[in-house]
Structure 1
Amino acid sequence: MRRVVITGAGAVTPLGNDAAATWEGLVAGRSGVGPLTVFDPTGFPVRIAGQVKDFDAAAAIPARADRHRLTRAGRFGVAALLEAWRDAGAVGGHHPAGERGVAMGASVGRPDAQFLADIATLRETTGRPDAFLRQAPGTTLEHDQNLPLVTMTRLLSATGPAIGVSTACSGSGHAIGEAFRGIQEGDASVVVAGGYDSLISWLDLLGFSLLGALTDRGNDTPETASRPFDADRAGFVLGEGAVCFVLEERGAALERGARILGEVLGYGSTLNAWRITDSPPDGSGAIQAMESAIADSGLGTGDIDYVVAHGTSTHGNDLSETVALKKVFGDDVRRVVVSSPKSMAGHLTSAGAALNVLAALGAIRESRVPPTINLDTPDRRLDLDYVPHEARAMPVSAVLVNAFAFGGSNVSLVIGAHREDQP
């Protein structure tokens, strides 16, 4: 079976507009959550988000990418993909176009609610039922969920596999896992994989608020709102952004002298078959995903140093994940450290799993584990080592990355240091 290494990374997140700045924010324990400014949230129960700041699409994306047609999330995704491709070095010349692929997790495309409201207003004011036909034809492309993916393949001259995944909060985890499988099995030799999302519109905020999923306790102090595993957690904070990686067949990467950031060792994917919005109290689904990923990696639980948790800051998810970790690791669970990047960035939804992979790679590279911030009040039911408040210096050679989604979709990945002494 072919080995798969990671040779490039790119990011646009609430913590920074590139991978280096995002990692620095994570390891510093800095919150990227603040007042929501993409629309006026006056009157909404939640008025905060993990929002990307000072992003210059014109500087990050070439004009030939038709950036004016890309959605907000799509622009983040294309920028992160191009950064990852540059970070990987001269990768293109070593892989024929037919062996290059793209795999991305993203939310299903849909017309913006304001766009639909404008059409309705136009129909009312003109009395013309065909008012929607008076929209510019190009607006159809702007709402096509496939456009960012197609743009990415075009920019990379990639004619190999193109995979778009919409499994909500596990989307980028599935994309990375499927890219890993594709390279292992010879369907491609290099794939840029990750995810992008921006669910901070008024419709998304309203919908998640009505579900009771968002915290409404942080409007005045947004940096303290996301508090995974804390007894006072009251829901998650919506975020946005994109994180991408270059996954490459190891032999080709070594042949071109690539800088290897880490290695994808294992992938597990399951479904809870429980409820749409809740995680099973017994941790099932998550347990099977973690066990499957660890078994696939060829490692044992004793080889895992760090778990990058899904850690949403909701009552049910944090409890279910903790129960699952205890089942998977057994008596060894007290040795493993666990932390949640969502405490700092908010929930990047489809890009959340990829942000967790970025945290894993940074921990391996720098021997520092990012913290879980805002963990001020212990919950007696959640008694693992969640690395509260400050990053921890420690050697890290293998990391379990979790992502569990609405709808019950689960992904776990094992990311390890590159094992140079093994064939």
Structure 2
Amino acid sequence: MSSTSDARRVVITGIGAVTPLGNDAPSTWASLAAGRSGVREITTFDASTFPVRIAGQVTGFGVEAAIPARRHRRYLSRGAGYGVAAAIEALRQAGPLDGSDPYRRGVSVGGTVGRVELQELADMSWQLESTGHTSIYRQSPAEVMTRDQNAAPAVMAEIGDLRGPFVAVSTACAGSAHAIGEAFRQIEEGDADIMLAGGYDALTTWMDVLGFALLGALTVDDADRPGRACKPFDVRRNGFVLGEGAVMVVLEEREHALARNALILAELAGYASSLNAYRITDSPPDGGGAISAMREAVLSSALAPEDVDYIVAHGTGTPGNDASETVAIKEVFGPHAYDVLVSSPKSMAGHLTSAAAGLNLVAALGSVRYDVVPPTINLVEPDPKLDLDYVPGEARRSRIQNVLVNAFAFGGTNACFVVTAHEPVHDDRPPTSARSDLT
């Protein structure tokens, strides 16, 4: 740990995204602001006989075009391909990093731990049974590498020449929030100047869809109208919609970013995490550890609760999560809970699992840059017990300076971070051709 006496400020200088709402960050933000759904019929497998046939799916994505070098694509799973593509976009927007020390540039990624697919297990079983258990099911090194959680971060590190701190976490739906938060701390504490951080996932497989459906976590409503299926905070909500995608950001020490005239999108001002110690899948009715994570994230940003203008909710559309999150918000913000705006991007994209908090970050960045809060779509019949301002139906223009991003996961893990508008200390400086804004 660095001996730096004062915490260093951390800013965001690049963002990339591949989501059901668009194959880059600008188109993803545009869909969020427009309240456009990316939930559609599943195409990754034949779901015609499944109880759930819809998901938030990436469409029109070409891995060859997004990741030109074949050696970088060789060992990537579908989800990892999204992650590397998002990383390339984020690094491109951040601009040339050649003047910085590569050993002070790192990577921090949240993703699903690699595992054998059910079809592969079935093939193994068939071979063993057909040969009387006398043969060994052999796999190529490439198959093994594709399941390695470190494959995508290793490619990202090579592309960005990131030789400093390395963090890889697998905390389910809070994965990208933890990855971004831990990267934030690496810079804040002086162990790095630049961190590429975020998450990716692609659980729209037949095993995952069936598993979550049997668990009772997925909604079975509106199969013929996929865009209306995910209904966070609505009285009719009865489950989430699976999604897939990736969001990666470049975090940078503020003075370092200013010295190289980087375009600063916003500031990452605080982070905290906690654990419910309640149940694996259920959210605690009293708000549980989400209260601590939200309160400590705001406290670490040196803001007061009443300074927060917008909360990007975890907002899954399950009965328990939405109720628990609402209770937690009221506990942390008191009377201000009725003034702060709250909305859920999952209503449009589904649940991107390990990449979910990354999508929430896109919403946060867009809101502080354009004073537009994305809506919670499909919120038609408000639950009388959930009485906050969830920005139903359409985006809302409002002055946004400070945003809290929530991420809560299976296993009871919680992670929250605070995004603030960066003072326009360099808005009059012309950006280079390598830089662009969110839109």
Question: Structure 1-normalised TM-score?
Answer: 0.97
Q: Given residue 164 of structure 2, which amino acid in structure 1 is its aligned partner?
A: G
Task: Give deviations 1:290-347, integer Å, cap 9, x for gaps.
Answer: 0000000000011100000000000000000000111111011111000000000000
Partner Cα separation in structure 1 for residue 318 and residue 71 of structure 2: 38
Other structure's SS at 1:132 match: coil
Q: Is the 8 A contact 2:113 2:148 kept in 1?
A: no
SS in 2 for 1:138: helix
Aligned to 2:289: 285
Is the CA contact (8 Å cut-off) linking 1:9 and 1:85 kept in structure 2?
yes
The Cα of 1:219 is off from its aligned counterpart by 1.4
Match of 2:237 among 204, 216, 233: 233
Contact 2:127–2:135 at 8 Å: present in 1 too? no
Letter aligned with residue 130 of structure 1: S
1:255-310 deviations in Å (ceiling 9; x for gaps): 11111000000001000000000110000200100000000000001110000000
In structure 1, the residue matched to 2:434 is: none
Aligned to 2:362: 358
Give matches, 1:169-318, under 5 Å: 169-318=173-322
Say if 2:159 is the partner of 1:152.
no
Q: For 2:135 and 2:402, locate their aligned partners in 1 and report how far apart those are by CA, in whole Å.
A: 58
Contact 1:105 1:175 in 2 (8 A): yes
Does the 8 A contact of 1:94 with 1:252 survive in 2? Answer: no
Q: CA deviation at 1:216?
A: 0.7
Corresponding residue of 1:2? 8
CA distance in 2, matches of 1:390, 1:416: 23
Q: Give a deviation string over 1:29-62, Cα, whole Å, max 9, x none.
A: 0000000010001221101100000100000013
- Offset, 1:113: 1.8
Structure 1 residues 387 and 278: alpha-carbon distance in aligned structure 2, compared to 1, 3 A threshold: same
Q: Decide whether the 8 Å contact of 1:48 with 1:218 is kept in 2.
A: no
* Residue 95 of structure 1, aligned match among 88, 100, 125: 100
Q: Counterpart of 2:87?
A: 81
311, 320, 325: which one aligns with 2:324:
320
Counterpart Cα distance in 2 of 1:328 and 1:77: 33
Distance 1:137 1:265 in 2: 42
Deviation for aligned residue 1:139: 1.4
User: Which digits, 9 at most, give the CA deviation of each residue in 1:59-89, with x for residues without a partner?
Assistant: 0013254313210010000000000000111
- Give distance in 2, aligned partners of 1:129 and 1:188: 52
The equivalent residue for 1:120 is 125
CA distance in 1 between partners of 2:31 and 2:99 (Å): 33
**3-state DSSP class of the match of 1:377?**
coil
Distance in 2 of aligned mates of 1:197 and 1:185: 29
**2:335 matched residue in structure 1:** 331
Q: Which runs of 5+ in 1 are unaligned?
A: none
Correspondence 1:105 to 2:134: no
> Is residue 371 from structure 1 mapped to residue 375 from structure 2 by the alignment?
yes
**Could you say what secondary structure the match of 2:191 adopts?**
coil
Counterpart amino acid of residue 119 in structure 1: M
Residue 12 in 1 paired to residue 18 in 2? Answer: yes
Distance 2:50 2:43 in 1: 13
Candidates 57, 64, 74, aligned match of 2:63: 57
1:343 aligns with 2:343: no
Q: Which amino acid aligns with 1:60?
A: A
Query: Using the alignment, how far apart are the partners of 2:141 and 2:387 within structure 1?
Result: 56
Residue 157 of structure 1 deviates from its aligned partner by 1.4
Partners in 1 of 2:398 and 2:25 — Cα distance?
A: 21
Of 46-55 and 412-421, the range deviating more from structure 2: 412-421
**Alpha-carbon distance between aligned partners in 2 of 1:127 and 1:148, rounded to the nearest angstrom:** 38
- Alignment CA distance shift 1:154-1:232 (3 Å): same
Q: Work out the CA distance in 1 between the residues paired with 2:71 and 2:410.
A: 32
Matched residue type, 1:116: L
Q: How many residues align?
A: 420
Residues 231-271 of structure 1 deviation map (CA, whole Å, 9 limit, x = unaligned): 00010000000001000010110011111000000001000
Q: How far apart are residue 128 of structure 1 and its match?
A: 5.4
Deviation of 1:206 after TM superposition, in Å, equals 1.2
Q: Tell me the residue number matched to 2:385.
A: 381
Name the SS of the counterpart of 2:223 in structure 1. coil
User: Matched residues in 1 for 2:303 and 2:50: separation?
Assistant: 47
Partners of 1:343 and 1:397 in 2: CA distance = 23
Q: Which amino acid aligns with 1:4?
A: V
Equivalent residue of 1:17, what SS?
A: coil
Shift of 1:114: 1.7
Give 1:126 shift.
4.5
Query: In structure 2, what is the Cα distance between the partners aligned to 1:7 and 1:233?
Result: 37
Cα 1:12–1:127 shift into 2, 3 Å:
same
Q: Residues of 1 paired with 2:128 and 2:191: CA distance?
A: 49
Mapped contact 2:356–2:407 kept (Cα < 8 A): yes
2:137 aligned counterpart, secondary structure? helix
RMSD: 1.3
5+ long unaligned stretches in structure 2:
1-6, 426-439
Q: For 1:9-48, what aligned pairs fall within 5 Å after superposition?
A: 9-48=15-54
Using the aligned pairs only, state the percent identity.
58
